[in-house]
Amino acid sequence: MTDILAVCVALAVLAGGAAVVAKLLSVIKRVHNALDDWQGEPERPGVPARPGVMERLAAIEAQLKPNGGHSTRDVVNRVEQTVRQIEHALTAPDSTEV
């Protein structure tokens, strides 16, 4: 009877250990995926490269500065200038009603 109890305890410990190992492997995989996302992935056959977080942030920051017409900042500036011109034309004393 004691031998059967010892075997049952050993199996329970092994099952519990396997569950802990499975959970640990799951956590390690998620951390690995997060690091891959942060650092980016190089190009490989059939799969394009994925830039890392810092490279993507640099690209976003570049769009926030004027660069001669092609950045998002330049587009916003042109739209703002156009809106001001339209506003000025509509509020000028000699403007006609539409």
pLDDT tens track of the chain, all 98 residues? 778 878 877 878 877 777 878 888 999 999 998 898 899 988 989 989 999 999 999 999 999 999 988 899 999 999 999 999 999 999 988 756 55
Yes or no: say if 58 and 73 are a contact pair by the CB < 8 Å rule.
Answer: no
DSSP assignments along 42-89, one per residue: --BTTB--EE-HHHHHHHHHHHTS--SS-SHHHHHHHHHHHHHHHHHH
pTM value is: 0.55
Query: Which of 71, 74, 42, 49 minimizes the C-alpha distance to 59?
Result: 71
Q: Domain map of the chain by residue range? A: 2-91
Query: Could you tell me how many residues make up the chain?
Result: 98
